[in-house]
């Protein structure tokens, strides 16, 4: 199989749909993302709720001169919640990204930006219009964190069952 075909065989069409979503946006040191994502779980438990899925995050406005970035964290819950806007938490009934391209980012030491570029290149090659926002579904496995990265898209050239168009 050609190397280019192998490289893209891990990119799939999908969707990302979350219900009863607690979120928070804040600018923090990049290394603090796990602690800050955990603040959503603490807020949910404080209100008698619990997470029903992994945390999801977007990363925006990375400061190239520091290790800071603006993150938005999302956590699906088992019920609804009234939030205090002063505390920085927001509740929404759902987050629906009905058409995404995704790949599993599981190469240790590889920056997210490399996977972002790979998804965008694939989108362009297959005629998708894509968002500039990437959603990272963070999955813990044996103490290590992996991400399924979703890129919202529209249009496109994949086959109806999600198989790739042949690359010539």
pLDDT of residue 136: 95
Give the pLDDT confidence of 64-74 residue by residue, as tens digits. 778 888 999 99
pLDDT of residue 167: 36
Give the pLDDT confidence of 31-70 residue by residue, as tens digits. 888 888 888 999 999 999 999 999 999 988 776 778 888 9
Measured CA to CA in angstroms, residue 130 lies from 111, 139, 153, 167 at distances of 20, 24, 4, 20
Query: What percent of the chain has a predicted confidence (pLDDT) above 70?
Result: 86
Calculate the dihedral angle through the C-alpha atoms of 75, 37, 102, 78, rounding to the nearest 10 degrees.
-20
pLDDT tier at 143 (50, 70, 90 boundaries)?
confident
Q: Is the pLDDT of residue 94 over 80?
A: yes
């Amino acid at each position: 199989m050609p190397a280019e075909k192998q490289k893209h065989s891990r990119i799939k069409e999908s969707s990302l749909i979350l219900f009863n979503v607690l979120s928070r946006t804040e600018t923090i040191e990049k290394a603090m993302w796990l602690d800050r994502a955990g603040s959503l779980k603490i807020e949910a438990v404080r209100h008698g709720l619990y997470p029903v899925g992994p945390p999801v995050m977007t990363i925006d406005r990375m400061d190239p001169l520091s290790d800071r970035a603006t993150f938005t964290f999302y956590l699906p819950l088992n019920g609804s919640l009234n939030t205090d806007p002063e505390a920085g938490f927001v509740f929404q009934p759902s987050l629906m990204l009905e058409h995404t391209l995704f790949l599993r980012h599981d190469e240790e030491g590889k920056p997210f930006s490399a996977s972002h570029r790979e998804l965008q290149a694939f989108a362009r090659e297959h005629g998708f219009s894509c968002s500039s926002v990437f959603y990272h579904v963070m999955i813990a496995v044996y103490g290590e964190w992996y991400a399924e990265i979703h890129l919202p898209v529209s249009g496109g050239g994949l086959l109806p069952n999600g198989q790739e168009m042949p690359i010539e």
